Amino acid sequence: MARVVVEVMPKPEILDPQGKAVAGALPRLGFTGFTGVRQGRRFELEVDGAPDEETLEQARKAATEVLSNPVIEDVVSVHWAQES
């Protein structure tokens, strides 16, 4: 079974309160190496059958039309998952 991974992140100019909360928590918990955090979403789409280009193209379309909100989010990656 193949899987397409779709990665969506808030646009740089959009406030990201969840990321901000994590960025504030990290140093309090001893993780001092990070200067900022953004939180986005990661989807795995299961595909029955072969991982072909047509399916990937459909996933790209779904990423921009269904999985993300183009007003506030960017689709940063659509790719086949490395099978484990």
Report the interface residues with a second copy, using CB under 8 A. 4, 7-9, 19, 22, 25-26, 29, 31, 33-48, 54-55, 58-59, 61-62, 65-67
Q: Would you say 61 or 70 has its CB closer to a second copy?
A: 61
Token pair of 57, please? 């193209």
Q: Would you say 35 or 71 has its CB closer to a second copy?
A: 35
Closest distance to a second copy from the beta carbon of 2 (Å): 10
Cα four-point dihedral sign 63, 64, 66, 70: positive
Count of CB atoms within 10 A of residue 51's CB? Answer: 14
Q: Would you say 41 or 72 has its CB closer to a second copy?
A: 41
| Residues 46, 4: Cα–Cα separation, whole Å | 7
